[in-house]
């Protein structure tokens, strides 16, 4: 069975390399500054104590006041997992940096979040709709979506 990493230990590693990046830690969940996703993702993937080289899933939740982006990470070499989260504020044009060049598995998942939630992943090489057709009015998983 996969072991959940201790968020406090991982927070120390993140803070040692990127001070001020962690906002909160609860169990194996870590919330980071939204503008730090690329730096933190690279660190989590490359750090020899973590080796979180597999992105199992990305999802987004609409809390009305903000969107939360959730990254489920796995180290197959160490059989460990971690959940990384960030809050994205602003409903008109929410933007988060893409991690597709860090974890190739982010490609389709970032496109799906863009399609259904309207969160733009800056730097994504092919950010277009994947479930709905181009020109579809809005993003149907948003709480404010009216059809």
- Residue 101: per-residue pLDDT: 97
CA dist 61 and 84 (Å) reads 14
Three-state helix/strand/coil letters over the chain: CCEECCHHHHHHHHHHHCCCCEEEEECCEEEECHHHHHHHHHHHHHCCCCCCCEEEEEEEEECCCCEEEEEEEEECCCCEEEEEEEEECCCCCCEEECCCCCCCCHHHHHHHHHHHHCCEEECCCCCCCCCCCCCCCCCCCCCCCCC
**What string of pLDDT tens digits covers the 147 residues of the chain?**
899 999 999 999 999 999 999 999 999 999 999 999 999 999 999 999 999 999 999 999 999 999 999 999 999 999 999 999 999 999 999 999 999 999 999 999 999 999 999 999 999 999 999 999 999 999 999 999 987
Nearest Cα to Cα of residue 89 among 115, 116, 119, 113? 119
Helices 7-17, 37-46: crossing angle, 10 deg rounding: 110
- Residue 82: per-residue pLDDT: 98
Which residues does residue 74 pair with via DSSP β-bridges, in sequence order?
54, 81
- Residue 94: per-residue pLDDT: 97
- Residue 1: per-residue pLDDT: 87
- Residue 147: per-residue pLDDT: 74
């Amino acid at each position: 069975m996969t072991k959940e990493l201790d968020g406090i230990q991982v927070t120390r590693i993140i803070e040692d390399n990127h001070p001020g990046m962690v906002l909160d830690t609860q169990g194996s969940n870590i919330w980071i500054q939204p503008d730090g996703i690329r730096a933190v993702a690279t660190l989590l993937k490359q750090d020899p104590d973590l080796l979180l080289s597999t992105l199992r899933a990305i999802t987004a939740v609409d809390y009305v006041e903000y969107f939360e982006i959730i990254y489920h990470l796995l180290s197959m070499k160490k059989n460990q997992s971690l959940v990384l989260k960030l809050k994205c504020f602003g409903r008109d044009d929410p933007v988060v940096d893409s991690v597709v060049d860090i974890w190739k598995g982010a490609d389709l998942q970032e496109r799906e979040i863009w399609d259904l939630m309207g969160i733009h992943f800056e730097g994504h090489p092919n950010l277009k709709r994947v479930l709905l057709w181009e020109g579809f009015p809005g993003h149907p998983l948003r709480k404010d979506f009216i059809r």
